[in-house]
Amino acid sequence: MMENEATIRLAFFFGILVLVALGELLSPRRVLTMSRPIRWFSNLGVVAVGALAVRLLFPFIGVHVALAAQEQGWGLLNMVDLPEWLEVLIGVLVLDLVVYLQHVMFHTVPLIWRLHMMHHADMDIDVTTGLRFHPIEILISMVIKMTAIAALGPTVFTVILFEIILNGTAMFNHGNLKLPSGMDRVLRWFLVTPDMHRVHHSVEDDEANSNFGFSLPWWDRLFGTYRDQPRGGHEGMRIGIHGYHEPRQVSWLPGMLILPFLGKVTAYAINRRQWTGADEQ
Ligand SMILES: [Zn+2]
Ligand SMILES: [Zn+2]
């Protein structure tokens, strides 16, 4: 499984990418407002830059950390003797919780919000938005994830399974997909659906600071960050960040990459809010 890790993950990546993209063609939720070829070139381009940065700086990816932890006896799960299925379950749950908490932090700490802003600056949301993260954000996520793996000690299988789930659900829940509302309601109990995550891409501050989960919807419900629907409805809501509309900045690769280094941090970050209350609205 170790040797085939890259092949297995790539197969899932392209498989789910094509499936969601097809779904967007057949049953789109919103009319896209920006040029799709430019957005797709930029959003997929930033995936390539991020993948390259990770390969250059972190030849030791998650599975290697999991293997090292196993050999050295690091990590909680390597210290207890649990049935394998339970170890996989705990591993996936805890890693997903870490990703949730990390996402909350990305919205909270002003310097890190600058990086995460690039994900939110996309004025349309579709399958490629789910892959669009600033390379420095990806590197920070890698450090956090590897630290979590070393502390938890999940099996190599768990790490590969988790990566496939995270990558797949990120593409699915950013999909511009119109699912039957009954299906969305049922799915939402187990999985973050496109309608649930779209709320998180609203320009409205309170909506953007909701629904941080990527795979499991339970953390948002447990920690009180869950929000059912956007106020403006899924067709009417505005996607993106207040004040960021310039296509060269939000949907053109070089502009996207330098976005974190420009200007002031917006009022999204935790200590930049102005609590002027109702009169502001
Ligand atoms: Zn976010
Ligand atoms: Zn997102």
Q: Which ligand is nearest to the CA of 209?
A: 1
Mean pLDDT, all residues of the chain: 91
Return the residue matching tokens 């593409």. 171
CA dist 118 and 262 (Å) reads 11
How many whole angstroms from 71 Cα to the centroid of ligand 1? 35
How many whole angstroms from 196 Cα to the centroid of ligand 1? 13
Angle CA 87–172–130, to nearest 5: 95
How many whole angstroms from 200 Cα to the centroid of ligand 2? 7
How many whole angstroms from 240 Cα to the centroid of ligand 2? 10
H helices of the chain, in order, are 5-26, 36-57, 62-72, 84-108, 110-120, 135-152, 156-174, 181-187, 194-198, 205-208, 218-223, 233-236, 247-250, 253-258
pLDDT at residue 263, rounded to an integer: 77
How many whole angstroms from 82 Cα to the centroid of ligand 1? 35
pLDDT at residue 59, rounded to an integer: 61
How many whole angstroms from 52 Cα to the centroid of ligand 2? 21
What is the chain's pLDDT, residue by residue, as a tens digit (281 residues)? 667 878 888 899 999 999 999 999 999 999 998 888 999 999 999 999 998 888 777 765 778 888 888 898 889 999 999 999 999 999 999 999 999 999 999 999 999 999 999 999 999 999 999 999 999 999 999 999 999 999 999 999 999 999 999 999 999 999 999 999 999 999 999 999 999 999 999 999 899 999 999 999 999 999 999 999 999 999 999 999 988 989 888 989 999 999 999 877 766 677 777 766 555 44
How many whole angstroms from 230 Cα to the centroid of ligand 2? 15
Residue 209 φ/ψ, nearest 5 degrees: -95, 40
pLDDT at residue 281, rounded to an integer: 45
How many whole angstroms from 201 Cα to the centroid of ligand 2? 6
pLDDT at residue 155, rounded to an integer: 92
How many whole angstroms from 208 Cα to the centroid of ligand 2? 10
Q: Which ligand is nearest to the CA of 174?
A: 2
For residue 98, give the amino acid letter.
V
Question: pLDDT by residue (tens digit) across 156-188?
Answer: 999 999 999 999 999 999 999 999 999 999 999
pLDDT at residue 264, rounded to an integer: 75
